[in-house]
Amino acid sequence: MTPQPGNSLIAATVEHLRRYAPFDQMELAHVHSLAARLQLGYYPKGEILLSPDQGAALKLLIIKQGVVQGEQDVARAQDDAAWLELHEGECFPLGALLARRAVTGTYRADTDTFCYELEAQDFFELTHLSAAFHDFCTRRIANLLEQSKHIIQAQYSLSSSEQQSMSSRLSEIMNREPVTCSPRTPIRTVLQTMQERRIGSMVVVDNGVAVGMFTLHDVLSRVALPQTALDQPIIGIMSKQLTTLPSHATAYEAMLAMIREGIRHLLVSDNGRLVGVLSEKDLFTLQRVSLRQVSQTIRNATTLAGLKQAARNIRQLGQNMLAQGFAAEHLTQLTSTLNDLLTARIIELECIAAGLQEPDSCQTAFCWLALGSEGRLEQTFHTDQDNGIIFITPRGETPETVRGSLLPVAARINAALAECGFPLCKGGIMASNPRWCLSLEEWQNVYADWIARGDGTVLLNASIFFDFRALSGNMTLASQLRAWLHDKVKDNRRFLQLMAGNALCNHPPLGLLRDFVVGKDGDRNNTLDLKVNGITPFVDAARIFALASGSNETNTALRLRAAGAAWQMKADEIEAWAQSFHYIQLLRLRMQHEQAKQGAVFSNRADPDTLNELDRRILKEAFRQARKLQKVLENYFTF
């Protein structure tokens, strides 16, 4: 190794380092101080840089040029697979230096490699000198995620401002159905309806054609001051000069019409059919869908059209939250909660339509189960349906007769959810399928059979059915099933080992082709499946820990945190796993948002070459955390 020479090379080193995290976040003086203390090491291809038998780590290495692979027993996809791959700008071994211990794996030069090297004493001095460097070293994944969040906010702020430029179609921004009355309706009735529905306008319709409008703004000048009798028909005071635009017109055109006509409301109609009313307020709040607005729209909806609009509002709210830098954990939980509210309203309306709204029916006789990602409160912008029903068999009846009465209702609920943007499950895992509309005893028999068998089909089902959650109806039925399942699984070492072995077969895609293992066939060429190989290792491990500990949590991050408490794992390791999981979820959300904007087919496959350098680095770190979690799972549940 040779010392770094003069000031010109130090300046060049500073310029090089500041292309990478955390040096791009550090004060310039601190990076200069670092550069002045660095030495340069050369390692030919195949040479070992660090290994466990070298004792406590004595230096920080920063790759200047080349590739370094870490080798450990965690990776078993191929005998020669590296468990991590480090590229230009990456630092190692941070954990070993901070803990003053030996590295746990062997670091080997995969190509001829040059590394900047910093002695341990200088490393610790730098952590005290630079807050940004200290934060990166102690909270590596969190620090990278914070930088990524700022980039996302900057990217989406432009998109948000473009959306608010009034270029949106009226069909995209109308948030309620028009409320109508006939020309002979008494003024009193109109006012009472407007108050009850909390609306600012009423459209007067005669034989299906809009002939007038009455607004709250008209009350003072047309009712209160003239002291108009409230028993008079609305036709005598309504506005007859109507301004109408088609649903494909833009918000900008609507704004111009309101300014030109001096009005606050206009009608939206297609081919003479009234489809909505747009208010001045709608334009001012354009693309700023509020949580209160969405929830009220759902609760007040009485038709499928209103619920479809609410579903669009949920997706718009989620996209707005992306722009504001919301964490993926909060975003997916909020999206799932609103989808729960939407589903519950659909169930309520369909129960009423089927005459099941009486006691001992909708709220007491059965429970609607959310399964899979919905059961985990981890829905993204594009998620198909996974649901089921638990029901009570009344005395004197059989499960078959109860099922026969519930399946038609469940079919209408599934169809309504599909209309609202939740595609029907291609595998038929829906409440309208007789296989998943079962009594409590039948569900227990199904789970008991799965646990006894433990074969591949069962382990595949576990990824969906073991993540159930009560969504609507008699919640105690789901609680009883969960308690029974815990008793059945908690001490069943064989079944937990089978689940763990199956989970460990799904390796995070690191190391074989540059940074990542990618697909090589057809449209999968050079892409990663962020769902199967990204989030699933975290989801599977968290599920096994939850079943083994008897935790009632279904959410992946909450399951991991509960496991940490039950097994006294390090809190920072648990949070690193949770943050890594949520970062991959965030990538999926961003991809789906872009796919929706472009009208493309939804996919979980990402081309790593299209990611920026920071996202590639965080994704690699997230996959490494997945491998660490799998190693812990292996230690606990396999021999």
Please determine, for residue 30, whether its predicted confidence score (pLDDT) is greater than 90.
Answer: yes
Q: Are residues 389 and 442 in the same domain?
A: yes
Domain CATH code at residue 268:
3.10.580.10
Q: For 116-138, what is the mean pLDDT? A: 90
H or E element, residue 602: none
Please determine, for residue 330, whether its predicted confidence score (pLDDT) is greater than 90.
Answer: no
Q: Is residue 146 part of a domain?
A: no
Q: Are residues 317 and 466 in the same domain?
A: yes
Name the more confident of 93 and 256. Answer: 93
Please determine, for residue 338, whether its predicted confidence score (pLDDT) is greater than 70.
Answer: yes
Q: Is residue 160 part of a domain?
A: no
d(CA 297, CA 176): 7
Task: Give the rounded percent of residues in the chain with a pLDDT score beyond 90.
Answer: 40
Q: How many CB atoms lie within 10 A of CB 571?
A: 11
Domain CATH code at residue 124:
2.60.120.10
- Cα–Cα distance list, 300 to 203, 296, 485 (Å): 18, 6, 37
Q: What is the pLDDT of residue 606?
A: 86
User: Side by side, which strands form the sheet with 84-86?
Assistant: 48-50, 106-109, 68-71, 84-86
Q: Is residue 37 part of a domain?
A: yes
- Give the count of alpha carbons within 13 A of 315, CB side only: 20
d(CA 142, CA 152): 15
Q: Are residues 204 and 267 in the same domain?
A: yes
Region of 421 (left: φ > 0; alpha: ψ -120 to 50; beta: rest) is left
Q: Is residue 494 part of a domain?
A: no
Q: Is residue 149 part of a domain?
A: no
One DSSP character per residue, 53-105 reads: GG-S--EEEEEEES-EEEE-TT--SSTT--SEEE-TT-EE-HHHHHHT---SS
Q: What is the pLDDT of residue 614?
A: 77
For the chain, give the number of residues: 639
Question: Residues 181-207: pLDDT tens digits?
Answer: 999 999 999 999 999 888 888 999 998
Q: Write down which residue in 227, 251, 284 finishes a domain.
A: 284
Banded model confidence at residue 287, pLDDT cuts 50, 70, 90 = very low
Please determine, for residue 3, whether its predicted confidence score (pLDDT) is greater than 60.
Answer: no
Banded model confidence at residue 259, pLDDT cuts 50, 70, 90 = low
- The total domain count for the chain is 4
Q: Write down which residue in 284, 299, 326 finishes a domain.
A: 284
Q: Are residues 275 and 299 in the same domain?
A: no
Which SS3 state, helix, strand or coil, does residue 326 take?
coil
DSSP summary character for residue 223: I
Region of 355 (left: φ > 0; alpha: ψ -120 to 50; beta: rest) is left
Strand 201-206 versus strand 180-181 pairing type: parallel
Q: Is residue 154 part of a domain?
A: no
Which SS3 state, helix, strand or coil, does residue 273 take?
strand
Banded model confidence at residue 74, pLDDT cuts 50, 70, 90 = very low
Highest mean pLDDT among 24-33, 145-154, 603-612: 24-33
Question: Residues 396-409: pLDDT tens digits?
Answer: 899 999 999 999 99
d(CA 330, CA 317): 12
Q: Are residues 382 and 482 in the same domain?
A: yes
Q: For residues 63 and 19, is the Cβ–Cβ distance under 8 A?
A: no
Please determine, for residue 363, whether its predicted confidence score (pLDDT) is greater than 80.
Answer: no
Q: For residues 205 and 274, is the Cβ–Cβ distance under 8 A?
A: yes
Q: Are residues 516 and 484 in the same domain?
A: no
Please determine, for residue 38, whether its predicted confidence score (pLDDT) is greater than 70.
Answer: yes
Question: Residues 103-114: pLDDT tens digits?
Answer: 878 899 999 999
Range of the domain at 467: 291-489
Lowest-pLDDT choice from 286-295, 414-423, 513-522, 602-611 = 513-522
Q: Is residue 244 part of a domain?
A: yes
Q: Are residues 183 and 83 in the same domain?
A: no
Banded model confidence at residue 172, pLDDT cuts 50, 70, 90 = confident
Highest mean pLDDT among 61-65, 163-167, 262-266, 302-306: 61-65
Name the more confident of 121 and 167. Answer: 121
Q: For 522-546, what is the mean pLDDT? A: 85
Q: Are residues 307 and 427 in the same domain?
A: yes
Please determine, for residue 289, whether its predicted confidence score (pLDDT) is greater than 70.
Answer: no
227 CB-near residues (< 8 Å, 6+ apart): none
Q: For 523-552, what is the mean pLDDT? A: 87
Q: What is the pLDDT of residue 396?
A: 87
H or E element, residue 269: strand 265-270
Q: Write down which residue in 426, 454, 489 finishes a domain.
A: 489
Name the more confident of 33 and 280. Answer: 33
pTM: 0.66
Q: How many CB atoms lie within 10 A of CB 594?
A: 11
Question: Residues 241-254: pLDDT tens digits?
Answer: 899 999 988 876 88
Q: Are residues 306 and 451 in the same domain?
A: yes
Q: For residues 557 and 329, is the Cβ–Cβ distance under 8 A?
A: yes
Please determine, for residue 77, whether its predicted confidence score (pLDDT) is greater than 50.
Answer: no
532 CB-near residues (< 8 Å, 6+ apart): 506, 604
Question: Residues 130-140: pLDDT tens digits?
Answer: 988 988 887 76
Q: Are residues 280 and 336 in the same domain?
A: no
Q: Are residues 186 and 85 in the same domain?
A: no
Q: What is the pLDDT of residue 217?
A: 84
Please determine, for residue 337, whether its predicted confidence score (pLDDT) is greater than 80.
Answer: yes
Question: Residues 463-522: pLDDT tens digits?
Answer: 889 999 999 999 999 999 999 999 999 888 899 999 999 999 888 887 544 566 665 544
Q: What is the pLDDT of residue 522?
A: 46
- The amino acid sitting at 374 is E
- The amino acid sitting at 419 is E
- Cα–Cα distance list, 30 to 14, 23, 130 (Å): 10, 9, 7
CA angle 25, 31, 32 (to 5 degrees): 150
Q: Are residues 557 and 477 in the same domain?
A: no
Q: For 520-544, what is the mean pLDDT? A: 81
**Residue with structure tokens 């130090």?**
10
Q: Is residue 88 part of a domain?
A: yes
Q: What is the pLDDT of residue 507?
A: 85
Domain CATH code at residue 524:
1.20.120
